A and B are shown apart, each in its own frame.
Chain A
């Protein structure tokens, strides 16, 4: 059982999220805005924070920044459409994931499960990863698909290793570019897209409808090996 803090100024949405999380077996506290949330966080430890983006006193972005000054607790943000720049800002500020309103409760619970699982597994990168007929050995740097060896270029392997650090999480373009190329100067999002495309062609069943390496439009990529 995990302890989750839900921060939202809408009473109805607060109740719905709380009910959903309690149904999934979590212990839930609620706060009406960022100020109150920081008060709760100062008093006791939480395993996860779920926060709305726009709130009257201290919104989601500010809350993420303040939490990140002192705590690595996973943060999930409830955002809206038309706000891709805001999503990138949130992730770069240290938020772990977001769901876009209107979201389904099951979608929210799936994201919560992924975040809590990562928290449980610690930060050590896995030495081996298996999903959907694919086996990746990070120490030997080999990839097999349905028993056959697949050759990845060094860049493709570096991208896959970065994605595999946090299964289920979103990586912004900037985060991936600086992790794999060491810089964001001179490499464009389109370069990243080309390498992701060839990685998909080697690993996905249908590269036009990727299931494991998903595009988050104008934000980045999400690695979802469990789906």
Chain B
């Protein structure tokens, strides 16, 4: 009812009616003192200003002053004033009426502002709760437009989001309506909002949806009644909700990858175990049998073949592990010399018929890698050198720091690899013509390169200075405390 009374065209007639009704009631009780009459008339001025604000309030003050003079100050029913003291009273009455009207209207307006801000806050809170409870992009956008329209008291809300090519596309809207795409694009590119009176009543606004310093898209509200501040707040909230949804999605994906890696790893370990155990058992059984039977050429052949089978299984499993992406490096700071020593110790048996030269300077040639993986990669280089160079030939293994890199090299005196083939041999199952009759799967170099690259290095084949093949692993040199300039005490 109060709301109906506050209509735009009710104010002045309302003020007139209120003042006249007050005068009527006062005339009905003729025994009242003049001061009481004045106070009750001021009350009507206050109420007019409170309900209809400044204009009608001031009008009521003037009307009440005239009424006070005409109906109550002697001589009654004239606008003349007999007692000069009453002239002062009348003037004071007018001033009081105007001031009361002004102050009550001001208080009223402040109260309305506070109420509006509280309503905005409540709307934002409801909106953020709704956004936070939703972690799925489709359903988030589906309800976002409707909720934003309700919060803003708008006729229509559209959400436009940018794709990977920075082009805006409609993501959600409450109804079909005309949207100025040029304005939306401008808002998105420049990051400034645009607001103007709407043909649908209220305001049309184009707001950037912020994500950090970037923008996710544009929020369009047509014919909205709420404040621009609320609209901007809504755009920020929408940006946060979209960002949160993205993080939740990424976290879920990471969790799934981790779980699936764990499963792959367990599965591959089980497969490797199931493949290797029968071979190991067969090998032991043949050894026992051969020892009891006094040894035989046939047993030796069987053991050799089982050895080759074990190697093949090992390499195939290594390829599967690399492809599955679960062979992640566990990095440590180690010296190149340690890697060379480990590789020679592990793969040295393959080099038994060659002359081995190890040149590994200690100290500054340090790297941060998975030691076992790089040892294995270098081991493939050693095995290749032994296989493809004549027995008795020299094999040189070295570790050196050169600039910001550490090089691990294996050089042989074999026939070498023609330049045209030096990349092709890193492909899987590729073996060059001279390799016929030499045992091997054609996987070793491919595995070695994958292991080195996984550790941030590179691997290539070159021609050795003395002819033959140079197998070269290049790794980034690790930064150590000793590399930093040591503080020196200045001498006098």
Contacts and interface: CB of A to CB of B under 8 A. Distances in A.
A181 interface: no
Contacts of A15: 281, 285
B280 A194 contact: no
Interface string B199-230: 00000000000000000000000000000000
Nearest to A221: B345
Interface stretch (A31-39, A42-50, A65-73, A102-110): A102-110
A12 B345 contact: no
Contact of B283 (A85, A102, A197): A102
B280 A208 contact: no
Contacts of A23: 288, 291-292
A217 B375 contact: yes
B285 A16 contact: yes
A17 B285 CA distance: 9
A151 B19 CA distance: 123
Nearest to A81: B314
A4 to B, nearest CB: 15
Among B291, B330, B356, B366, residue most surrounded by chain A Cβ atoms (within 10 Å): B291
B313 to A, nearest CB: 9
A189 B356 CA distance: 24
Given A189-B334, A218-B371, A16 B276 contact: no
Contacts of B281: 10, 12-13, 15-16
B357 interface: yes
A89 to B, nearest CB: 14
B279 A190 contact: no
A15 B287 CA distance: 13
A214 B278 CA distance: 30
Interface string A167-196: 000000000000000000000011001100
Interface string A198-227: 000000000011000011111000000000
B372 A82 contact: yes
Interface residues of B, number: 36
Interface string A72-114: 0000000011101100000000000000011111100000000
B284 interface: yes
Contact of A208 (B287, B357, B372, B375): B357
Given A19-B288, A193-B362, A215-B342, A102 B279 contact: yes
Contact of B284 (A13, A81, A214): A13
Interface in B329-362: 330, 334-335, 337-338, 341-346, 348, 356-358, 362
A194 B337 CA distance: 9
Given A190-B335, A208-B344, A102 B310 contact: yes
Nearest to B306: A102
A107 to B, nearest CB: 10
Contacts of B285: 12, 15-16, 19
Contacts of B362: 190, 193-194, 197
B280 A193 contact: no
B175 interface: no
Given A13-B280, A23-B291, A217-B375, A208 B338 contact: no
Contacts of B276: 80, 101-102
Among A12, A17, A104, A190, residue most surrounded by chain B Cβ atoms (within 10 Å): A190
B284 A16 contact: yes
B277 interface: yes
A193 B363 CA distance: 11
Nearest to B289: A19
A106 B287 CA distance: 8
B372 A215 contact: no
A218 B345 CA distance: 10
A209 B356 CA distance: 8
Given A193-B337, A193-B341, A218-B342, A17 B284 contact: yes
Interface of A: 10, 12-13, 15-17, 19-20, 23, 54, 80-82, 84-85, 101-106, 189-190, 193-194, 197, 208-209, 214-218
Given A101-B280, A190-B362, 9 more contacts: A15-B285, A16-B281, A101-B276, A102-B279, A105-B288, A190-B335, A193-B362, A208-B344, A208-B356
11 contacts: A16-B284, A19-B285, A23-B288, A85-B330, A101-B276, A101-B280, A103-B280, A194-B362, A208-B344, A209-B348, A214-B345
Q: Which 9 A-B pairs have the closest CB atoms?
A: A16-B284, A217-B342, A12-B281, A215-B345, A105-B287, A102-B280, A208-B358, A190-B335, A19-B288
